[in-house]
Amino acid sequence: MAIRSFFVPFLLLVLWFYSSLSPVLSLYEDQVGLMDWHQQYIGKVKQAVFSTQKTGRRRVIVSTEENVIASLDLRHGEIFWRHLLGSNDVIDGIDIGLGKYVITLSSGGSILRSWNLPDGQMVWESFLQGPKHSKSLLLLPTNLKIEKDNVIVVFSNDRLHAVSCIDGEVLWKKDFETESFETQQVIQPPGSDLIYVVGFAASSQFEMYQINARNGELLKHESAIFSSGFLRELSLVSSETVVALDSTGSILLTISFQNGEISFQQTPISNIVEDSSGPAVIIPSSVPGIFAIKINSVTIFIRVIGKGKLEVVEKLNQETAVSNALPISESQQAFALVQHAGSEIHLVAKLAHDWDANLLKESIKMDQQRGIPHKVFINNYIRTDRSHGFRLLIVMEDHSLLLLQQGAIVWSREDGLASIIDVTASELPVERDGVSVAKVEHNLFEWLKGHMLKLKGTLMLASPEDVAAIQSMRLKSSEKSKMARDHNGFRKLLIVLTRAGKLFALHTGDGHIVWSHLLHKSEACQSPVGLNLYQWQVPHHHALDENPSVLVISRCGPSSDAPGVLSFVDTYTGKELNSLSLDHAVVQVIPLPHTDSTEQRLHLLIDSDKHAHLYPKTSEALGIFKREFSNIYWYSVEDHNSIIKGHALKCKCTGEVADEFCFDARDLWSVVFPSESEKITATVTRKLNEMVHTQAKVMADQDVMYKYISRNLLFVATVAPKGSGEIGSVTPEESWLVAYLIDIVTGRILYRVTHHGAQGPVHAVFSENWVVYHFFNLRAHRYEMSVIEIYDQSRADNKDVWKLVLGKHNLTSRISLFSRPEVITKSQSYFFTHSVKAIAVTSTAKGITSKQLLIGTIGDQVLALDKRFLDPRRSVNPTQAEKEEGIIPLTDSLPIIPQSYVTHALRVEGLRGIITVPAKLESTTLVFAHGVDLFFTQLAPSRTYDSLTEDFSYALLLITIVALVAAIFVTWRLSERKELQDKWR
Amino acid sequence: MKSVKVVVPFLLTLTLSLSLFSFSFPSFGFQSDELLVDDEEFSLEGSPQHRSPEPVLTRSPPVTRKRHSDLDSSDSKIQFSLDHAFGDSDFSPAGTFSARLKTWSHGGQTLTKLRFSRNSFSNEDKEKFKNLLKSDDFYRIRLPSNVLSPPGRDFVISSVKARCLPREGLDEHFVIHMEGVNVLAVNYGSPGSCPYPRNLKFPAKWSFNSHTVLKNSEQAPRAPVFTEEILGGENAESEVVQPPERSFWAKYWMYLIPLGLIIMNAVTQAMNMPEEQASGQAPAQGQPSAGAVQRGPSSAARRR
């Protein structure tokens, strides 16, 4: 009896285990949106064109710095359609032609496309070539027609093109012979058949070409020399007058070219502005009769009166953005000004010829965290009382987009989230008592109704309407977006840093923004550039009353040796706790595996002079650091000359200022790649917080292999310098890829392998004791993925059970990397269909769950591929024992199972990175993919073996229990009766 | 003298094999790049006796000259020096590597037959090294990154904690990673393990026991290319083969397990049965005889 009772559960366990190993990972239709969310963004708007015809929907067409062209709903800000052009297809200009085509000029002015306005389908595309690269300008004259064709005038690649608006055919083109001619403006005076092309040749010559718009014939070419030179910026004040600055930025030049005669008018700025100091810059605008210059931070508006006479109309001290002119009637043009003033922004709309009268003057309260307005676009509409109304589209410093109308924000879009540069995860606060169910649910009746519906659903009694109601209830479950920690660790905060220097906290439940924080500007640093995000304080055991915080590393200015700025931000509230302006640059940040008594992590910051600075600057931290002083090693990669160096700490800084938190470094080792044959293309290390559950791997033949698990391994891939270009630019003979595994403490090359005929780009991921990398095989004309696994041989003797039992093994002994390593590696390559944008690996809390590779494909989707497919022990005919172990027979290419797309039907446009965060539940990992879009989901690579799934049949369980209880009662009664009968016998 | 005896036959075999090797090439007509794959030279050299380091230095040049006469004209002899530094001191010469430079017909150049002669420590060096041992500091070495035009772009540096080296004498192990004539990296350390709490131990003999390994890059295994036919054929074959391959147990386990359980059940019941019978039969036998007499008490017992 005892044997049986033991055997049956064991068998069940084995059965269950095998069933859980099957790599099925798909979603049912009704599970979409339950634990995943997807957000669409467009990026910082560069240019916007309104399309507000009487018929049709009101929309605005925008082009962005993420190379997106999008059509947005003017009423709600939703995306009607959107196209992401490639990263090397930068949009130069957009406009609307004939009221129904969106015309875009991109790729340095060489591609002109037309898109259908209502649905965003491409109508035509034409390639414009020219002799040399130049500024590209797009102009759509409203009433210029050549044989009933509306004309698009494009200046690009130093050539002027006239393109038909209907089919994209080039009607005529015109080259400019003058050497070093730099075009600044292409002007088409309304109502005439002339095109003016103006610009500078050399540095002091102003050139003007007058061209017949009908056939491209050169009518007139004039040039004039201004001895002291020009600044390369022009402001157009009328169709035959431009304003420029001389090379010192102190003299305004009014250049008019009426009737082809060029005439200069010089006005020193000091003549019209009393207290001007410093050079001026022209703010590009196109308001007739008025232009704006900026001296230091003061914006000055100047009006041109008659023959080159200038007059200052207004000086504004606040940050100001000016819109382009908008014709509101035959003779009137309006433009808008947006000023930032504390917590408010002031909007002013004026007529171009009448500065004093305001068409619109409003103040709107604006969130401080949005910063200053960067751009403004104006659009008008007819109010119900037949007067002119204006709506303004403004782009803020944090890249958000807002539509303002009637003194209110109609809608806003957080488009800064389209350019995330770093992500980290943070826990939510622990749930406090006092929040009862009643508060969450609306009332008892609703609550009862919900549970009745659920019961109906589980008992399969629900009608289709009920099913829909249940589904919407599941999607909107308030449990999901609660602001407290959950038992399984599914609810977290994703702290993201965007390129605009803004921090957002996104809730993993539904992706809503919990708080946002624009990096603080200080006196010392006007424009901090956010670089990286680190977890500064993660309170757990003691110090639980502290809030967790993150460290934001930013740089003060664009150059790499600019001084750094550290900001510490509370992740619960989004408040900046502290901000430090450093006197040194930050080249490298090393989070150390030590924390102080308040759980603040020690960080070592390496500056450009190879000094190491310890943070936090407390004596306690210094004490901890001193203890580990001789055990700290790091490496630096010099990409430009292909050298990797290893460093260790030497002594205190020997500078003039005594700083006990600053340390000198010394070089311990170096790897010098021959510059003529190798160039570093990828370096990857293991994630610092990765957990490895087991060190040993049991083979099919009862053998044990010990994984070589070292946090100090670096994977480096080098390619031939010739082959670092586009795929196909070299022959297989002159291109190769070398993969290295380097120990970063001693600089030992543990493994080195050459792939001949291979070419980058290389994408790699490193986890546990394996690395997977992706490259292009020129010989096979296919992409390839390789895996390297590294095993420790020095511990391979520990196979004897008795040794383990008696403790005569060296498994627990300390390992020194200065010992000569005894490692063996196994590797294998497979073909892979897709090119790859990013590659990551799932990570779980304890590292027990099997791993999946997450591959960001070229189609902007995330594919989950079981690591078992990349096992170097795969062979064509695995033995029975190997099959039982789960080794898949070798195939030449990796399978792409359509169900294993994590993103199911969605696309993460412009995918750049995939981040995995372990949940508290061992089976589950949280996946966040970001690009222009954001996508979040939960994954269970080996299914949720440690919890009941959503679709677990509680009804069946209940019925079984009831049936069992009933059966017990019945049998009990029966047995009683039988016993009684026996007794009476 | 003993060591010389050992060296000479060793060298003879080396020269023989080398000359064989060099002869075998023209007959093939193409250059096999097999050497690239596992061109691992393992030579053991150094000053075995700290008393007389000079003989080693004087002995090695004639040896190399002798070999030089045997080899192809495309080979040339080169030397490059090893520098060392104690802690953060400046680098100073510590030894010389000499090797054959083999020029292939396709233009590639590789090093073979690497030999190393190490200068012995001067008294000053010994003091410095002792200080390193005391402070558990790094002993650093460097090599030029290009052996033809030293130092090339930069020196390749490697270092080890000085306490890892002393054994009987001073044991060191070089792994030089080469790419043509470029030295990519040198890995320096003790030939064995260096357990972590590094104990202070001074060497008994101040002589180096050097091991040198030259390593070139491995070739990656090609991705397997299966043509569709083979794949299809295999599939078809495996489909046919699979049913017999599956063992009896694999096929019928679902029937066998319940069967086993039933049998087990039956067996346990059968085991219980005799006992029951044994215990049940005894009263059955006794009942008729004692039945009339004991009816009263037995029924009374039952009622309880």
CB–CB contact B154 A648 (8 Å): no
Selected residue of B142, B173, B210, B222 to mutate for chain A interface (largest A Cβ count, 10 A): B222
CB–CB contact B223 A876 (8 Å): no
Q: Which residues of B touch A719 (CB under 8 A)?
A: none
Q: Which residues of A touch B268 (CB under 8 A)?
A: 1
Nearest to A281 by CA among A298, A293, A267: A293
Closest partner residue to A814 among B175, B196, B257, by Cβ? Answer: B196
CB–CB contact B136 A678 (8 Å): no
CB–CB contact A820 B222 (8 Å): no
Rounded to a whole number of angstroms, the distance from the CA of B303 to the nearest CA of chain A is: 8
User: In this structure, which amino acid lies at residue A365?
Assistant: K
- A–B interface: beta-carbon pairs under 8 A: 149
Per DSSP, what are the bridge partners of residue A693? none
Nearest to A208 by CA among A237, A190, A187: A187
CB–CB contact B185 A672 (8 Å): yes
CB–CB contact B156 A672 (8 Å): yes
Rounded to a whole number of angstroms, the distance from the CA of B142 to the nearest CA of chain A is: 9
- pLDDT one-digit tens code per residue, A282-329: 888 778 888 888 887 788 888 888 776 888 888 888 888 888 888 887
**Cis omega (within 30 of 0) for bond into B151:** yes
Closest partner residue to A748 among B161, B187, B231, by Cβ? Answer: B187
CB A547 within 8 A of CB A570: yes
User: Which range has the worst mean pLDDT, A147-151, A404-408, A857-861, A929-933?
Assistant: A147-151
> What tokens appear for B293 in the block?
């007499």
CB B167 within 8 A of CB B211: no
Residues 6+ positions from B194 with CB-CB distance below 8 Å: A816, A818, A819, B160, B161, B163, B164
Within 10 angstroms of residue A288's Cβ, the number of other Cβ atoms is: 17
Name the pLDDT band for A466 (thresholds 50, 70, 90).
confident
Rounded to a whole number of angstroms, the distance from the CA of A752 to the nearest CA of chain B is: 6
CB–CB contact B156 A641 (8 Å): no
- pLDDT one-digit tens code per residue, B245-283: 667 777 788 888 889 999 998 998 888 876 655 554 444
- pLDDT one-digit tens code per residue, B52-101: 333 333 333 333 333 333 444 467 888 889 999 988 888 999 889 888 88
Selected residue of A5, A8, A669 to mutate for chain B interface (largest B Cβ count, 10 A): A669
Q: Which residue of B has its CA nearest to A776?
A: B223
Amino acid A262: pLDDT: 83
CB A419 within 8 A of CB A498: yes
Rounded to a whole number of angstroms, the distance from the CA of A807 to the nearest CA of chain B is: 18
- pLDDT one-digit tens code per residue, A29-57: 777 777 889 999 999 999 999 987 665 67
User: What is the value of pTM for the model shown?
Assistant: 0.82
Closest partner residue to B194 among A818, A828, A876, by Cβ? Answer: A818
Rounded to a whole number of angstroms, the distance from the CA of B288 to the nearest CA of chain A is: 16
A733-738: long-range contacts, CB 8 A cutoff, minimum separation 24:
A733/A757, A735/A759, A735/A778, A737/A762, A737/A775, A738/A678, A738/B217
Query: Residue A515 — φ and ψ, nearest 5°?
Result: -150, 165
Name the pLDDT band for A498 (thresholds 50, 70, 90).
very high
C-alpha to C-alpha distance for A624 and A614, rounded to whole angstroms: 11
> ipTM score here?
0.79
Amino acid A743: pLDDT: 92
- pLDDT one-digit tens code per residue, A946-985: 877 766 777 888 999 999 999 999 999 999 999 999 998 7
Q: Looking at residues A938-950, what average pLDDT do you find?
A: 82
> What tokens appear for B295 in the block?
């009816």
Closest partner residue to A752 among B177, B191, B226, by Cβ? Answer: B177
Name the residue ranges covered by the structural domains of chain B: 83-95+121-216
Per DSSP, what are the bridge partners of residue A448? none
CB–CB contact A673 B175 (8 Å): no
Sheet holding A611-615, edge to edge: A588-595, A601-606, A611-615, A662-672, A643-652, A633-638
- pLDDT one-digit tens code per residue, A611-651: 899 989 899 999 999 888 888 999 999 888 889 999 998 88
Selected residue of B147, B153, B164 to mutate for chain A interface (largest A Cβ count, 10 A): B153
CB–CB contact B198 A816 (8 Å): yes
- pLDDT one-digit tens code per residue, A705-738: 888 988 889 999 999 988 877 877 888 888 999 9
Selected residue of B218, B226, B299 to mutate for chain A interface (largest A Cβ count, 10 A): B218
Q: Which residue of A has its CA nearest to B147?
A: A674
Whether B237 shows a pLDDT value over 60: the answer reads no
Q: Which residues of A touch B198 (CB under 8 A)?
A: 816
Distances, alpha carbon B209 to alpha carbons A198, A818, A833, B165, B201, in Å: 79, 18, 52, 10, 17
SS3 A795: coil
Token pair 């019945």 is found at A970
CB–CB contact A780 B218 (8 Å): no
Q: Which residues of B touch A671 (CB under 8 A)?
A: 156, 184-185
How does DSSP assign A412-463, residue by residue? EE-GGGGSEEEEEEEEPPPPPTT--HHHHSS-HHHHHHHHHHHHHHHTT---
Q: Which residues of A touch B138 (CB under 8 A)?
A: 648, 668
Whether A665 shows a pLDDT value over 60: the answer reads yes
User: For residues B227 and A336, which has the higher predicted lDDT (pLDDT)?
Assistant: A336
Rounded to a whole number of angstroms, the distance from the CA of A710 to the nearest CA of chain B is: 15
Nearest to A689 by CA among A915, A902, A430, A862: A915
